[in-house]
Amino acid sequence: NNIGMLYAVLGDYESALANYERARSLHSEIAQPSAKVTTFSGMGYAIAKTGNWDQAKTYYQLALDIGGGNADLSWKAYTLTNMGVAHSSTGDVKTALSYFEAANKIWDDPKVHDPQGKAYTLDKIGIAALNAGDVDQASKKFLLALESWRRIGVRSGEANTLLGLVRLEIKLGNLMS
């Protein structure tokens, strides 16, 4: 799983999927649901990066079906967020928002302390809102995400959210593309 994740982060999605497939082949020997959740969620992420949103949704759903209450809640929230991104990317913003809301419920649980995950979800809600034309909601979510990224010192997250704010300003006609 970790090698697959590394390749996905580096942008080598073919190698990422190959390593996730290797991990998946070991699942019959491993009785840990969390390992399966991580693999399927990672496969969904790598496939989503290639633009195959429907196949990504399939893997995200497999991860969510296995996850239940036993899997790591942070992974579940990330998977819910990524499922929301997949739906948003195919134009189904209403469904996307329901996944984002489910992820936010997990992030708001005091037992799950992952401010980076919360910021990630807020940023993705901002993107979905912007794509749906709701600039007020997009602005609010981007600004909340930006505040969170700055508070926890994650510069790459801050940069992604700033890019969303630039896209918002272009849409409002305040900047030239």
Q: Helix (H) and strand (E) counts for the chain? A: 9, 0
Q: CA 173 from chain center: how many Å?
A: 28
Q: How far apart are CA 55 and CA 48, in angstroms?
A: 8
Is the model's pTM score more than 0.85? no
The three-state secondary structure class of 168 is helix
Residues in the chain: 177
Q: Average pLDDT for residues 41-50, to the nearest whole number? A: 89
Residue 1 has what pLDDT? 62
Which residue in this structure is represented by tokens 């080598």?
A: 12
Question: Exposed, middle or buried by CB within 10 Å (0-12, 13-18, 19+), for 125?
Answer: buried
Which residue in this structure is represented by tokens 């969170």?
A: 148
pLDDT per residue over 15-27, tens digit each? Answer: 877 877 777 766 6
Closest CA to 114 of 137, 81, 159, 85: 81
Residue 70 has what pLDDT? 46
pLDDT per residue over 96-143, tens digit each? Answer: 999 999 999 999 999 888 999 999 999 999 999 999 999 999 999 999
Quick one: tokens of 63?
Answer: 């991860």
Q: What is the mean pLDDT of the chain?
A: 88
Residue 82 pLDDT > 90:
yes
Residue 8 has what pLDDT? 73
Cβ partners under 8 Å of residue 151, min gap 6: 115
For 15-38, the DSSP string reads HHHHHHHHHHHTTTT---HHHHHH
Q: How far apart are CA 171 and CA 112, in angstroms?
A: 35
